[in-house]
Amino acid sequence: MLYQGIGARIAATGSYVPAKIVTNNHLAGAWEVARKLQRLLGAEERREVDEGEACSDLIVEAAQRVLRAAQASPLDLDRIIVSATPGDFLEPPTASVVQYKLQARCPAVDIKMSCVGWLAGVDYALRCIATGEKKILVVAGTVVSRGDAFHTLMHRAIFGDGAGGILIEADEHRSFLAGGLWTDGQYYTMINQPHPGSVHPADIPAGYKGKFYMGPRRVFFDTLRHELAPCVESVLKEACLSKDEIDVAIIHQPSRKLFEAAVKSLKIPPEKTIQDFHRYGNTISAELPIALDENVQNGRIRRGDKLLLVTFGAGFNAGAMVLEY
């Protein structure tokens, strides 16, 4: 998708992570196991919601920070787009809860695309801006620490809770240059978290029934190496930019090794990337907006910088976007 004809910019960013820090030692209960988790995953700690916090609460806190930074009211919004994992309910959409808690009066829509959900929401928002809307909030949140979703400690240790988002507003300056989304549904069982009433897929071991499942690692690495680079190259080509012209790359970090494989495949200098997996784990679709906001706040990302956003995950799905902040 070539966005250069769409007048839009990021008016503000915002993020929120719960105060509670859960270390590998907390999860494992034994020093040897904790060290193994860090060695295999690269995560040292992650955040966890309090008992009374819902996914929508994290998203609303991040959204309020976005709106305060933009000096905007919830009543100014034309649309709210939410990517929530897993969200508050099967029904209604978490976006409805977010709209109510924000006291907004606009349509609110959920987008489900796993780790790519927030970026898909940005793509959707830009299409809405192109048809006349002026201010759109795109937010994502993840709460995976609650419940009994994981069959193995290793899988639990991958993930953390958090939320982030941006306000996109119509503007003469065309900040969004190009983007693309990719899906190969043949791998839908390779990263799988079932609904309580869903049918158990035959190719997932019976021991994982009702639980989060990840297939053979080689499938992830092979698909990453063969598919991700062409997707990103095509987006950069549409944006008329080279990798050398990218100031900061925010690349999804499902684990340290998968992140390193993605960086190597894309041939992005590591010093241009943002690395926060060791602090937050994999916050799924919330990861990109959290990283974007934190690095705007600390000054690493400044107005005028050219950014490359890349994410990939269950489905298999992937997305890439080039923009000028």
Report the pLDDT value the prediction gives residue 86, as an integer from 0 to 100: 92
What is the four-CA torsion angle of 267, 232, 140, 208, rounded to 10 degrees?
-80
* H-helix segments, the chain: 24-28, 31-41, 55-70, 94-102, 117-130, 153-158, 217-223, 229-239, 256-266, 277-280, 287-297
Report whether CATH 3.40.50.300 matches the domain 177-324. no
Any bridge partners for residue 3, and if so which? Answer: none
Q: What angle in degrees, to the nearest 10, is found between the helix axes of 287-297 and 117-130?
A: 80
Distance, CA of 239 to CA of 314 (rounded, Å): 27
**Stated pTM of the model:** 0.95
Any bridge partners for residue 148, and if so which? Answer: none
Are both 8-172 and 177-324 of the same fold?
yes
Strands 45-48 and 20-23: antiparallel
Indicate the domain borders of the chain: 8-172, 177-324
Helix, strand, coil shares of the chain, percent, nearest 5, are: 40, 25, 35
Phi/psi at 57 (5° precision):
-65, -40
Report the pLDDT value the prediction gives residue 173, as an integer from 0 to 100: 87
From first to last of the 325 residues of the chain, give the pLDDT tens digit: 788 889 999 999 999 999 999 999 888 876 677 888 888 888 899 999 999 999 999 999 999 999 999 999 999 999 999 999 999 998 999 999 999 999 999 999 999 999 999 999 999 999 999 999 999 999 999 999 988 889 888 899 999 999 999 999 999 988 999 999 999 999 999 999 988 888 999 999 999 999 999 998 889 899 988 899 999 999 999 999 999 999 999 999 998 999 999 999 999 999 999 999 999 999 999 999 999 999 999 999 999 999 999 999 999 999 999 999 9
Report whether CATH 2.40.30.210 matches the domain 8-172. no
Report the pLDDT value the prediction gives residue 30, as an integer from 0 to 100: 64
